[in-house]
Structure 1
């Protein structure tokens, strides 16, 4: 199934979630939200590599739960791209700038340039103050 196993990919998805969901919470959300029968034990087995041949239905349901395309589990190049995007989102969330990023998405390109310039100036000013 490629250089990166289903277990490693699923583990990364769990770790990228904040807070990290329990196996029971994921199983219940998949069952109630998607109507796919899956147990928390089976999800644990997939994540730990004790089971490594899930059905397309289960992969599709888990992908939907975590908000990634099912190709994430099947295509290592796709997984690497998605992991990079998830890492960026985690960094934005951890830095506490999610609101700024979301608001900037609805601003014109010229407005975003202005925001970027203001942030750069604040950053430079704070670096100088630390020196």
Structure 2
């Protein structure tokens, strides 16, 4: 018998929940509320990386990444994985929070690192994974 293994999307569709909810259950995340819709943050980071590479961006940095939040870690992982598969080094990452002040500080830190590090080639793009961070950068 040739049985096909269901995908996360198949299970989510059947259960009428988000793909992220299914992923949290499969990966053992506690206190999952099946009615809560969440984002697939890994996919968001991956799609951002793919889009930037497709536009020809080769020196990309990421700012405003709160590594204490699953959303920040997952977005960073998706972003890094795409760049690694394309043969790029791991991007510079400036940690922060999803706030205006953090976004401004992260961008200033990235620029300071560039100047103090004596780099001659600027970053062609900066990925800020949250709207508030982008607005302040």
Tell me the TM-score normalised to structure 1 length: 0.28
Structure 1 or 2: more strand by fraction: 2
Larger Rg: 1
Structure 1 or 2: more helix by fraction: 1
Tell me the TM-score normalised to structure 2 length: 0.28
Q: Which has the higher contact order (CA 8 A, sep 6+)?
A: 2
